[in-house]
């Protein structure tokens, strides 16, 4: 038991500062779409209007960023009628340097809210990378692992108390420190399953870029020579997307990865589609299309770890069940902040000296 107490104490202490930042920044990100709409960013999209050709949208983005290189064209579910293009500026070292440009899908022009990403993008960068660029996910991976260690060790420590006093019990008539201890344990025990889910999905998301790079090297690279050699001319983006959709008629386009980007090859575009409903709506299906001839050269089924990554992203922010689930995620996030603060108070408060035959009160 002493090992578990030691593991819980130090894993919690090391990761708490990071977790407080992640919990606080994660709160507004749960309602990112609603906040963007309220602030007017991308709100000018005409969702019901007939969409303009993708080539016109692509041209509008190039006018906005004439020196940049388009990496992704995205249909974001929370921005109906607006298409987001991720563009690498000159000298970009990684996709973390990309800039997002919003284009009205009907008029092929910047929407009324402007063509730039909303201020919530800064929160996403802070939440996902700590504003450290490519090093951010590697840094965040450490507290993510320690958070899971703290949760597992907390379960082990809390087990004997729960069996003796009852699950989620708060002892009355004891010292103030005991009240804080029982409050910390009770709140942690009640939301333990949720914290494990959010911690695990956060860890998966932290490693997302590395997971995708592994998939690109291990599977997508096998298609590298199947496309036509670059000739300086490429097929229309409309023809490329149409070829991808023809392979899976019931699916809707999610995003297009351009040659040279993280999720495509040097000779082909990758059209990523999403299913009509259920889990298929969140697990994308890639269709690899020759950049010169618009001919489909493959439609590999994503491996399990890519599907896990695709499912973890919306689950991490509560994007599965609409507003009710988002409200629940918000309340659980606030409770997590309370658990973290109470744990800090217990760790740094003076608990007084006790006889040696009495076990110290340790937050679980």
Q: pTM score, two decimals?
A: 0.79
Q: Give the per-residue pLDDT at 131.
A: 85
Q: Give the per-residue pLDDT at 115.
A: 57
Q: Give the per-residue pLDDT at 239.
A: 97
* Res 243 pLDDT > 60: yes
End-to-end CA distance of the chain: 12
Mean of pLDDT values over 63-81:
88
Q: Give the per-residue pLDDT at 92.
A: 82
Q: Give the per-residue pLDDT at 116.
A: 62
The average confidence (pLDDT) of the chain is 84
pLDDT band at 46 (very low <50, low <70, confident <90, very high): low
* Res 356 pLDDT > 50: no
* Res 294 pLDDT > 90: yes
pLDDT band at 180 (very low <50, low <70, confident <90, very high): confident
Q: Give the per-residue pLDDT at 357.
A: 41
* Res 363 pLDDT > 70: no
* Res 26 pLDDT > 80: yes
Residues 6+ apart with CB under 8 A from 45: 79, 80, 81, 82, 104, 105, 106, 111
What is the phi/psi pair of residue 354, to 5°? Answer: -125, 155
- List the chain domain ranges: 1-40+119-208+303-364, 41-117, 220-302
Q: Which stretch of DSSP H or E encloses residue 253?
A: strand 252-257
Q: Which CATH number fits domain 220-302: 3.30.60, 3.10.450, 1.10.287, 3.30.70?
A: 3.10.450
Mean of pLDDT values over 51-79:
91
Q: Give the per-residue pLDDT at 359.
A: 43
pLDDT band at 358 (very low <50, low <70, confident <90, very high): very low
Q: Which stretch of DSSP H or E encloses residue 269?
A: strand 268-274
Mean of pLDDT values over 67-93:
88
Mean of pLDDT values over 139-145:
91
Higher pLDDT, 305 or 160: 305
Mean of pLDDT values over 195-209:
90
Farthest-apart Cα atoms in the chain, separation: 81
Residues 6+ apart with CB under 8 A from 243: 271, 287, 289, 294, 295, 296
Provide the percentage of residues in the chain whose pLDDT is more than 70: 90
Mean of pLDDT values over 259-284:
85
Q: What are the Cα distances from residue 146, in Å, to 3, 7, 16, 30, 317? A: 15, 9, 9, 23, 20
Neighbours of 61 (CB within 10 A): 25
Q: Give the per-residue pLDDT at 257.
A: 95
Q: Which tokens hold the place of 311?
A: 């499912």
* Res 181 pLDDT > 70: yes
Exposure string (b/e) for 145-158, b if CB count within 10 Å is 16 or more? ebbbbbbbbbbebb
Q: In what order do the strands lie in the sheet with 284-290?
A: 99-104, 82-88, 69-75, 252-257, 268-274, 284-290, 296-298
Of 44-53, 89-98, 244-253, 296-305, the least confident: 44-53
* Res 304 pLDDT > 70: yes
pLDDT band at 77 (very low <50, low <70, confident <90, very high): confident
Averaging pLDDT over each range in 115-129, 172-186, 208-222, 244-258, which range is the top one? 244-258
């Amino acid at each position: 038991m002493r090992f578990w107490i030691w593991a819980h104490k130090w894993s919690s202490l090391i990761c708490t500062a990071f977790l407080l930042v992640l919990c606080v920044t994660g709160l507004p990100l749960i309602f990112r779409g609603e906040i963007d709409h309220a602030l007017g960013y991308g709100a000018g999209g005409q969702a019901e209007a007939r969409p303009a050709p993708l080539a016109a949208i692509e041209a509008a983005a190039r006018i906005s960023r004439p020196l940049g290189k388009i990496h992704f064209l995205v249909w974001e579910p929370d921005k109906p009628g607006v298409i987001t293009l991720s563009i690498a500026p000159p000298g970009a070292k990684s996709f973390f340097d990309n800039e997002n440009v919003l284009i009205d899908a009907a008029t092929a022009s910047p929407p009324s809210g402007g063509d730039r990403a909303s201020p919530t993008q800064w929160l996403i960068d802070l939440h996902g990378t700590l504003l450290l660029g490519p090093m951010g996910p590697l840094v965040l991976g450490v507290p993510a692992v320690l958070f899971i260690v703290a949760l597992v060790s907390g379960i082990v420590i809390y087990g004997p108390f729960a069996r003796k006093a009852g699950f989620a019990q708060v002892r009355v008539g004891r010292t103030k420190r005991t009240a804080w201890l029982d409050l910390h344990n009770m709140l942690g025990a009640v939301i333990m399953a949720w914290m494990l889910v959010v911690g695990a999905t956060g860890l998966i998301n932290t490693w997302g870029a590395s997971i995708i790079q592994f998939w690109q090297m291990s599977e997508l690279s096998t298609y590298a020579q199947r496309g036509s050699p670059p000739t300086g001319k490429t097929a229309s983006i409309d023809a490329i997307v149409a070829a991808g959709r023809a392979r899976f008629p019931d699916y809707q386009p999610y995003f297009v990865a351009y040659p040279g980007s993280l999720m495509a090859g040097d000779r082909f575009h990758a059209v990523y589609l999403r299913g009509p409903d259920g889990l298929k709506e969140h697990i994308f299906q890639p269709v690899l299309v020759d950049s010169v001839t618009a001919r489909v050269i493959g439609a590999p089924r994503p491996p399990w770890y890519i599907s896990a990554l695709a499912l973890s992203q919306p689950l991490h922010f509560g994007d599965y069940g609409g507003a009710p689930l988002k409200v629940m995620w918000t309340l659980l996030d606030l409770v997590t902040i309370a658990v973290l603060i109470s744990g800090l108070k217990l760790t740094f408060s003076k608990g007084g000296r006790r006889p040696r035959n009495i076990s110290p009160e340790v937050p679980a």
